């Protein structure tokens, strides 16, 4: 059956109370964004010489792009492993990826001291080929373009442009391949950035050569988890048909991925003699234990076939893994980062409000799109 008729817009009222609440959060965030661009970074942030990266880069780029890996994880599942049964989940996942990466790229502007020079990323003769950030920036920029093309069938379908949809489908395979390659490259490079930071990263998170592997594993785990989260929230909040049977199968893949992640994580600590660090009574040890618990509890839920069949427990496990992956990245890049004596950092209220504003804008854009465009899968009737 053609996918042309397999999706539909929700078509319900857009301006709900929750949407307006998000609008208030977004407006506050936009106000502080304007302050940052008009008066400079120091006017709204607590960044300093020791902490040139704060919550903006760590959330928007490091965590936010992993939260936006649903399209990446499903593309691997559907197009690399030929599991076409997951097609009903792909459009909302690509939309969330597009919004997440686009806002992540925009958010990276906040942390550029001379943000008006951003166009240099488009000028090869100005590139710094010794910078890992160059590869990350180029991949993120290109992936946003790829996601726009992958999402193009949705507006074409909405506009009734069947001939354009047919032409696009003939070349879409090339962009789908890029959609798998680019996140693999920049997610692994984000891990490589921790290698560059060397001794400044606490040994509990400094795994050196294993950083790229751990970055990709957490990105895919978070990608699958966000698909479960989105599908579950669509069922609960938007009265869409439950996709529990499909989510159960994804959950089985997550079990293997989380098990592999924990094996690599603790194997590295064991082989390099770092397990004794877990006996130290300090903040880093506490954060490591919380992070590990957030991986292990969902793993125990998803390993049990009976619990895996519960939509409620699936949602809890998915949310747990999103928190786990996010905390792993916050720990590695911010909490477990020590630039040396004399420096400290805690995000200012405007920094937090900008981040919350970005999240609110993303959710509002997602709700708007699924209510107007054919993004969510159409319910099957007997």
Which stretch of 10-14, 16-20, 30-34, 326-330 has the lowest confidence by average pLDDT?
Answer: 10-14
Going from N- to C-terminal start, the domains of the chain cover 46-115+128-347
Report the mean per-residue pLDDT for the chain: 90
Taken in order 164, 167, 170, 172, the sign of the CA dihedral is negative
Tens-place pLDDT, residues 34-68: 999 999 988 999 999 999 888 988 998 899 999 99
pLDDT of residue 168: 87
Q: Is 318 exposed, middle or buried (0-12, 13-18, 19+ CB in 10 A)?
A: buried
Please state the rounded mean pLDDT for residues 286-298. 97
CATH 1.20.1630.10 fits 46-115+128-347, yes or no: yes
pLDDT of residue 240: 75
The answer, yes or no, to whether residue 104 has pLDDT greater than 90, is: no
Taken in order 193, 199, 205, 209, the sign of the CA dihedral is positive
pLDDT of residue 162: 81
Which stretch of 92-96, 108-112, 120-124, 260-264 has the lowest confidence by average pLDDT?
Answer: 108-112
Q: β-pairing, 376-377 with 7-8?
A: antiparallel
Q: For the chain, percent helix, then strand, then coil, each to nearest 5?
A: 75, 0, 20
Please state the rounded mean pLDDT for residues 180-187. 92
102: how many CB neighbours lie within 10 A of its CB? 17
Q: Is 242 left (phi over 0), alpha (psi -120 to 50) or beta?
A: beta
Q: Are 364 and 24 in contact (CB under 8 A)?
A: no
Question: Rounded distance, CA 240 to CA 379, Å?
Answer: 8
The answer, yes or no, to whether residue 339 has pLDDT greater than 90, is: yes
Give the residue, 236 or 81, on which the prediction is more confident. Answer: 81
Give the residue, 312 or 2, on which the prediction is more confident. Answer: 312
Please state the rounded mean pLDDT for residues 152-168. 87
Which stretch of 9-13, 69-73, 363-367 has the lowest confidence by average pLDDT?
Answer: 9-13
For 245, residues 6+ apart whose C-beta sits below 8 A from its C-beta are: none
Q: What angle do CA 154, 369, 141 make, to 5 degrees?
A: 75
The answer, yes or no, to whether residue 1 has pLDDT greater than 70, is: no
Question: Rounded distance, CA 128 to CA 135, Å?
Answer: 10
Q: Are 108 and 61 in contact (CB under 8 A)?
A: yes
380 band by pLDDT with thresholds 50, 70 and 90: low
350: how many CB neighbours lie within 10 A of its CB? 20
């Amino acid at each position: 059956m053609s996918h042309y008729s397999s999706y539909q817009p929700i078509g319900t009222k857009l301006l709900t109370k929750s949407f307006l609440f998000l609008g208030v959060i977004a407006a506050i965030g936009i106000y502080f964004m304007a302050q940052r661009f008009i008066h400079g970074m120091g006017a709204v942030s607590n960044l300093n010489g020791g902490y040139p990266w704060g919550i903006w880069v760590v959330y928007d780029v490091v965590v936010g792009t992993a939260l936006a890996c649903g399209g990446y994880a499903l593309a691997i599942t559907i197009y690399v492993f030929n599991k076409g049964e997951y097609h009903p989940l792909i459009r909302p996942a690509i939309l969330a990826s597009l919004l997440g990466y686009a806002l992540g790229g925009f958010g990276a502007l906040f942390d550029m001291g001379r943000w008006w020079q951003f166009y240099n990323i488009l000028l090869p003769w100005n590139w710094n080929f010794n910078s890992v950030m160059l590869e990350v920036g180029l991949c993120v920029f290109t992936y946003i373009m790829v996601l726009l093309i992958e999402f193009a069938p949705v507006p074409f379908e909405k506009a009734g442009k069947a001939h354009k949809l047919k032409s696009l489908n003939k070349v879409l395979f090339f962009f789908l391949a890029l959609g798998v390659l680019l996140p693999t490259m920049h997610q692994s490079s984000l891990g490589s950035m921790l290698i560059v930071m060397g001794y400044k990263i606490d040994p509990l998170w400094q795994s050196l050569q294993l950083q790229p592997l751990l970055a990709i594993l957490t990105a895919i785990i978070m990608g699958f988890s966000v698909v479960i989260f989105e599908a579950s929230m669509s069922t609960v909040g938007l009265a869409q048909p439950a996709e529990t049977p499909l989510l159960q199968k994804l959950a089985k893949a997550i079990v293997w991925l989380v098990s592999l992640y924990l094996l690599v994580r603790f194997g590295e600590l064991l082989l390099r003699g770092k397990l004794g660090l877990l006996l130290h009574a300090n903040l880093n040890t506490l954060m490591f234990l919380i992070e590990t618990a957030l991986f292990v509890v969902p793993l125990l839920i998803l390993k049990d076939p009976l619990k895996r069949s519960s939509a409620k427990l699936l949602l809890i496990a998915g949310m747990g893994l999103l928190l786990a992956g996010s905390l792993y990245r916050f720990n590695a890049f911010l909490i477990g980062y020590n630039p040396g004596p004399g420096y400290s950092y805690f995000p200012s209220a405007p920094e937090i409000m900008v981040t919350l504003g970005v999240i609110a804008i993303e959710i509002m854009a997602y709700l708007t799109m699924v209510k107007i465009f054919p993004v969510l899968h159409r319910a099957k009737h007997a």
